[in-house]
Structure 1
Amino acid sequence: MTIYQSLLGEDFKRLHPMLQQRYALPVDAPFFATGVMHKIASGAKWMRPFYRLAARTRFLFPESGNNIPFSIRNTCRVLPSGELEVLWERSFYFAKKTRYFDARMTIDPVQKIVRDYLGSPALFYSDLHFAATKEGKLMIRSGVQRFVIANRECPIPKILEGRVIVEEGFDDNRNVFTIHVSIHNPLFGRLMMYAGEFTQQSM
C-alpha cells in the first residue's frame, strides 16, 4: 500500500477506478502520461522576478498560453529512512521554452496530511489535504505553508500563502484524465492556474 492509499483509507475506494489505478503507484513503477493543458495562466507582470527565480528551481514560471503540450511522471520510491516518497515531475512544452514543476510528497499518518516540498531544490513547503468526492474525483487543498531556506523552514504569513485547489478526475467518454489546478493569493490574486487532460503512456 503506497502513500495515497494509506492516507485516504477506505475513501480511496470512492475514487474513479482509473484514479485508483493512477494513485496506487507501486514502488519504482512510475506513472507516466502525456497530454495538453488547454489553458495556463500565471500571475501579474510585476511578479516576473519571482517567477524567474522560481523557474530556476523547477517550480512556478512566468509563461501563459493555450493548448500547451504536457507530460507528467510520478515515481514512488523508498527513502533511506524507510519512508515512502512520491516524486512529481511535470513538464510544460511552450513554443520557445520547456518549463517544469517538481514536488516531493510524503505523508504524516498521524495528522492525515501530505507533506509537499515544491521545487528542486525546494523553495516552499505545504500541507496538503486529500479527499475523494462523491463523483469519484480527487480534491486537494493546501494547508499550512512554509518557506524553505537551506535546512530551515520559516512559516509563511497567511496573507502571503499560495492557496491551492486541485481537482483531478477521469472522463469515461473520452478516456482521459482531467486536471484543474488553481494557486491563488488573497493579496496578489492568481499565482498560477492550469487546466487540461492527459493519457497514460506505457513505459
Structure 2
Amino acid sequence: MTSIFARAMGDDFERLHPQLRRRFSVGLESGEACVGRGSMDRIWHGRAFVKPFLALGATRNILVPRTGRDVPFTIENVPYTDSHGRETVTFVRTFALPGGPRRFDATMVHSPERSCVLDYLGTHQHLATDLRLTAEPDGSLLIRSGEHRFREGPVDLRVPRLIGGDAEVRESFDDATGRFRIRVAVTNRRFGPLFGYEGTFRARYVDALRHGVRAGLRPVREEARA
C-alpha cells in the first residue's frame, strides 16, 4: 500500500522532486508524519466584499480572513485511520498572525471511486473537494481543485462553480536553500481572486506512531461520503 497521494498520481508520482516524493509519501505505510515550519511571505485576500465570506469560513477553520507579510507558519501532515476505516492525512496550517493564530484545516483521503484525493475542509468536514495532482516538468507539484460538495446530515449538494472557489496549489523544493516553497491561490470565475498565500518552510519527519495525532488536530466530525 503506497501513500494516498502516490495512489492518486500513479506513475506521475515518480516524476516529482525526491524531496516532494518523500513529503507526499507521508502515510501509514511509510510510518512518517511531517511537520513543516517556516514563514509566509504574504497572505492576501480579494476585494472588500470577500472578507465576510472568509470570516464565515474561518469559524470552521476554512480559509483565513486576515492578511499579513512574513507570517510564521506551521503545517502538520499526520497520517491516521479515521472512524470509517480510511487512511487519512491531516493538512492543518497555522498562521501566527498578530492578534492570534489562525488555522486552515483539511483532512485528505484517497477516493478510488473518484480516482483522486478527496479533501475534506474545516473542523466538521462539511465541504468535500476533489483534488487532481500532477507533476510538472521541473519536478514541482501542481494541485487543482475540482467539484465541491456540501454535506450535513441528509443534505448532499454540489456547490455551483459560480459561487465556489477554484484552488491552485504549487509546491516545489529549492535545493539551494533546503526549503519547500508553496503558493496557494483561490479564485472565483466571476468575482476573481478570493484568498491565497505564498512562502517557504523546512520539513521535519517524525515517527507517526510515536508522534501520534495531537489533541485538536482531527476534525470534530468525520464525513463518510466521498
Q: TM-score, normalised by structure 1?
A: 0.93
* Aligned pairs, number: 203
Name the structure 1 match of 2:35.
32
Runs of 4 or more above 6 Å deviation: none
What is the aligned-residue RMSD (CA, Å)? 1.6
Name the structure 2 match of 1:17.
18
Distance in 2 (alpha carbons) for counterparts of 1:11 and 1:47: 36
Deviations along 1:94-133, one digit per CA (max 9) or x if unpaired, are 1112110001111122432111111111342211101111
Amino acid at match of 2:133: F
* 1:41 and 2:40 are equivalent in the alignment: no
Gaps of 5+ in 2: 207-226
Bigger strand fraction: 1
- Aligned with 1:88 (options 91, 102, 107): 91
Q: How does 1:110-121 map to 2 (within 5 A)?
A: 110-121=113-124
Amino acid at match of 1:98: P
Distance apart, 1:66 and its partner CA: 1.0
* 1:186 and 2:185 are equivalent in the alignment: no
Gaps of 5+ in 1: none
Distance in 2 (alpha carbons) for counterparts of 1:128 and 1:159: 18
Deviations along 1:134-157, one digit per CA (max 9) or x if unpaired, are 111111011111223345321111
* 1:145 and 2:148 are equivalent in the alignment: yes
Is the CA contact 1:85–1:106 (under 8 Å) kept in the aligned structure 2? yes
Is the CA contact 2:33–2:205 (under 8 Å) kept in the aligned structure 1? no
Is the CA contact 2:73–2:94 (under 8 Å) kept in the aligned structure 1? yes
Q: TM-score, normalised by structure 2?
A: 0.84
Distance in 2 (alpha carbons) for counterparts of 1:74 and 1:38: 21
Is the CA contact 1:57–1:122 (under 8 Å) kept in the aligned structure 2? no
Distance in 1 (alpha carbons) for counterparts of 2:154 and 2:201: 35
Identity value in percent: 33
For the residue of structure 2 that corresponds to 1:63, the secondary structure is coil
Distance in 2 (alpha carbons) for counterparts of 1:29 and 1:59: 26
Q: Report the CA distance shift for 1:93/1:165 in structure 2 as closer, same or farther (over 3 A).
A: same
